Every structure is written in C-alpha cells, then in structure tokens.
Amino acid sequence: MMTEKIIIFDSTLRDGEQTPGAKLNEEEKLKIAKQLARLNVDVIECGFPISSPGDFKAVQRIAKEVKGPIITALGRALKPDIDAVWEAIKAAERPRIHTFLSSSPIHMQYQLRKDPETVLNMGVEAVKYAKKYTDDVQYSLMDATRSELDYLCRVVEAVIAAGATVVNIPDTVGYAVPEQFGELIQQIMNRVPNIDKAVISVHCHNDLGLAVANSLVAVQNGARQVECNINGIGERAGNAALEEIVVALTIRSDYFQNYHHQVNTKEIYKTSRLVSSLMGIPIPVNKAVIGTNAFVHSSGIHQDGVLKHTETYEIINAELIGGKAGQMMLTARSGRHAVRHQLQELGFTLHDTEFEEFFARFLELADKKKEVYREDLEALMNENMTHTASIYSLEYLQTVSGSKSIPAAVVKLKKDDEIFVETETGAGPIDAAYNAIDKITGFKPRLEKYNLRGVTEGRDALGEVSITLEYQDKTIIGRGTSTDIIEASVRAYLNGINKLLAQRSNDAR
C-alpha cells in the first residue's frame, strides 16, 4: 500500500534555543545540526539570522557545512529579515526561506497594531519578495489557532497564490485541543481552493500538554509537515517532542498506516543526550521515549511480565532509539579496544588523538569508581563534546567545610606554563572555589542555573554538573563530571569561564 511521507521539520536550533538559558555558541549549534543530519530529519531550522551577528554566523556555517536536509532560518515578514535569512542560508544545498506574521485578532490589534487587510498584504508581499531568492518559501500564520477561520483561509490562499510552497498553521500559545485542531486543519484543506499547491505544516506548543497529540491529529487531517524539537524543548512549556512523534508513527504504524517518515530512529538516543548536554537542560527521568525510566520497571507484576515476555509491559524496544538494554562493565584494567567498542555501541566515533584524550579521562574515572558503566561513558563524552580549548586548566583543588567551620577553598589553575593559586571563603565549598577562580581569572559571572545529577547509582556514582553563567549580556553553559561533586562543580564553572574567554577572543578579532 502506498503511504504518504510526513516531513519532519526540526526547530531545536531556533525555537528550542528560545528555551530560557539554552544559549548555544556557533560550534555547539554546528554539532547539533550535524547530528540532526545523521538523524535524517527532512528540514533543519537553524536560527533567526537578523537577531544577532552570532546567530547569523552560526546559520551561515551550518548552511555551508551540513549536507542532506533542507536548511532554513526564520525572519519576520520584512525585507531586511528576509535579506538576512537568504544571506545566511544561500550556500545550502537545499535552502528554504521561512517568514511569518501574526493572524489572530489579539496579535493584530495589540502587537502589530495593524488591520487584517494590511497584515494579509504584508504576508503576500513578503512571500513574493522571498521568491526572488528561492523557489522554496514557507509562510507561517502566527497564533493561527486563535484566528478567525474565514480570515485564516483567505491568508492561506493568498500566500499560496503568491508562491508559498509550505504554509504553517502554528498553535503558538498551546491553546488548541486535538479534536478542534484536527477540524481546523480539515477546514483549511477543504475550503482553500489552491491548497494542493502547497504543503500544510503544523507547529504545536505544549502549554496544555497536548502538542504531540495535536500534531498527530493534524497529520490525520491533511498536514504533511510536522515541526518539532528534540526533547520537546522550546519556549514556556516547550514544543512537540520530535522523538515522541516519530516513535508514535513507528510503533503505531497499524493506526497511522497511511503515513511514513524517514527519520533514523537509532540516532534518537544520541541526539537527545547531545542536545541535553549542550543546552544544559536535563531530561526528566519520566520523559516519554527517552527518559531514563522509560525502560525501567519497579512493580513486581511488571517485572514478572517483562521477564516472561518483554512486550507485556514494554511497547518500545530500547534498540529502536539507539539505546541498549544490556551493558558491559568496564574497569581500569579494560583495554583501549573494549572502551572504543563501547563508545561505538553508543554511537560515538573518535579519531585516535581524541580517543587518547578520552581514554585518559576514562582511566582517571575508573581509578576512582572501580566499575564504569555505559552511562558514565556517555557523561564523559558529553563533557568532551562541550569542551572548549582550555585557557585555564584545573591543577589542584582542596576545600574545607563543616557545620561549625568557615567554608574555604584552595584552587590551583594553569594557563599556558604559568600556575596561579588562590584561597577564598564562601557560603559553601563550591561558592568558595568559584570565588577563588573569579580572583584568578578576573571574571565574576552571574550563576543563573545549577543542575547536579547522579549518572548511575551507588556511593561512588559519577556526578554530572551543568551550570548557566551570564556575563555582560552573554549566556554560557558549563559542564563538568567527577565522582566528587565539588570537583564536578568546579570543572563546570571552569568550562564556562573558558568559553567566555574564547568568545571574548573571537569577538576581538
């Protein structure tokens, strides 16, 4: 039976990056974009070029270096925005301009302060202008789900007539519920006479927890492109989760039998962890599809059923998304071959020099932890992927704390061949160590967020710390791992400081 393809449009690098604190630098955006290409998404929306010179450069580099998916970027329905989008993406193999304008009465009255006819004409002119650059133009009607149906259909018809190849119906504020949203898509499909000339897309937010459900019901009613983000990240409560939509279409192919996608599901797990690591946003343990508890059973009845037949309580095989149920335990005596094999099983391939650096960190951990599991290797790899050229490296750390003592820290850092040592006090040992680093480096960034998680279980579990630092309007995410949570915290802070210094050096060029 012939099935229709559902186009998977990934907006992790645009809408996902609008998650508070989830700021990425150019290298980090490129890493994620290359992994999204390996995931085989159809479209990568990689930024908002006119928003900043940094975002423009990141989009431009992705367009030049990432092959396979359509590369698009967002701009308002204004000529300078559209110019910026084209300049940023024009080197792509398959460039697309994405432009947008609101269509709801509340947005037109209070945000745009323009009447509906003016807004409609602006949209048409924006599409015509974008078509001068490329044949592939997407137009989005922001806040479509709170728009008047007759007006919505008029705008959709007009922008298609102007040359839009994709028209997006976003649930911008997460207002829709599945039955009504499905009916809205169906009405548009039935009432717009030239609807066959464009692909209808949907972009759902998760304010009511219905983003994935709304996206899937839209597919059943005629939408053929779904916009979504890895791990469901995004503004406010986030966007529709890519992994949930793709796996739902896969597992329930009996129900969604008329549709197919081309995503490489075996890359989901790796992509999910990479995005979480680089953006500093932990994945909830109970997150559908990719949470750490997704394949864990605590109920005796469930455990008994799974042991007898996996499908009694597990509808998703971990290997479908690139995870592994079984694992090989590694120790300090494990050779390079065993470690490299486990990394390859996890989907990581390192060049010889990179592997030797990683193996040194592995041995350091194995000496402390005795038994190293796949989750530990992932954490070390995630730290490695967020690593930037070390301007300062940690040589020595000693802290003092107690219920009746003043918390203090001695920190020794190395820069080039020079050693710096400082002793400071603080509210606790971590604060004291941060104060010492500030004194050595001359930086005093503001700590916006601090996250600590145990990678595995047990008293010797590896601790993984991610922090968000803010300094002179720059937001940086630092990451560190260690069996000592104070050391992990210091490594994360130093990682962030090195990124700030590297960024300042690049800005000066």
The pLDDT tens digits of the residues spanning 408-463 come to: 999 999 998 899 999 999 999 999 999 999 999 998 999 998 989 888 777 888 88
Q: What is the value of pTM for the model shown?
A: 0.83
pLDDT per position as a tens digit, 478-504: 889 999 999 999 999 999 999 888 877
List residues bridging with 199 in a β-sheet. Answer: 166
DSSP class of residue 290 equals: T
Question: How many CB atoms are located within 10 Å of the residue 64 CB?
Answer: 15
Could you read off the pLDDT tens digit of each residue along the chain, which spans 509 residues? 789 999 999 999 999 888 776 778 898 899 999 999 999 999 999 999 999 999 999 999 999 999 999 999 999 999 999 999 999 999 999 999 999 999 999 999 999 999 999 999 999 999 999 999 999 999 999 999 999 999 999 999 999 999 999 999 999 999 999 999 999 999 999 999 999 999 999 999 999 999 999 999 999 999 999 999 999 999 999 999 999 999 999 999 999 999 999 999 999 998 998 898 888 888 888 899 988 777 765 555 655 564 565 667 677 888 888 875 444 568 888 888 888 888 887 777 888 888 898 898 888 888 887 788 777 887 888 776 655 556 899 999 999 999 889 999 999 999 988 999 999 999 999 999 999 999 999 989 999 989 898 887 778 888 889 898 998 878 888 889 999 999 999 999 999 999 888 877 766 65
Euclidean distance between CA atoms 340 and 82, whole angstroms? 46
Identity of the amino acid at 229: N
Which positions ≥6 away from 81 have C-beta within 8 Å? 50, 75, 99
Give the residue among 68, 44, 38, 72 at the shortest CA–CA distance from 268: 38
Given the DSSP bridges, would you call strands 7-10 and 225-228 parallel, antiparallel or unpaired? Answer: parallel
Take residue 32 and report the two structure tokens written for it.
């994620």
Query: With contact defined as beta carbons under 8 Å apart, do 204 and 214 qualify?
Result: yes
CB within 8 Å of 102: residues ≥ 6 apart: 108, 111, 112, 119, 141, 142, 143
Domain ranges of the chain: 4-279, 297-323, 327-385, 393-508
- Evaluated on CA atoms 298, 302, 308, 309, the torsion sign reads negative
**Do the beta carbons of residue 245 and residue 299 sit within 8 Å?**
no
What is residue 459's predicted lDDT score, i.e. its pLDDT?
81
Q: At 369, which helix (H) or strand (E)?
A: helix 352-369
pLDDT at 379: 80
Superfamily of domain 4-279 in the CATH hierarchy: Aldolase class I (3.20.20.70)
Structure tokens at 481: 């791992």
Classify each residue of 89-125 as buried b or exposed e, where b means 16 or more C-beta atoms within 10 Å of its C-beta. Answer: beebebbbbbbbbbbbeebbeeebebebeebbebbbe
Amino acid 328: pLDDT: 57
Would you call 313 helix, strand, or coil by DSSP? coil
Contacts of residue 304, Cβ cutoff 8 Å, sequence gap at least 6: none
The CA distance from 243 to 271, in Å, is: 10
Both structure tokens of 358: 């990683």
Q: Is 209 exposed, middle or buried (0-12, 13-18, 19+ CB in 10 A)?
A: exposed
At residue 325, the pLDDT reads 46
The CATH code belonging to domain 393-508 is 3.30.160.270
Nearest by Cα to 53 from 25, 78, 17: 25
What one-character-per-residue DSSP string does 188-248 give?
HHHH-TTGGGSEEEEEEB-TTS-HHHHHHHHHHTT--EEEEBGGG--STT-B-BHHHHHHH
Closest listed residue to residue 409, CA positions, set 444, 441, 401: 401
Measured CA to CA, the distance from residue 28 to residue 23 in angstroms comes to 9
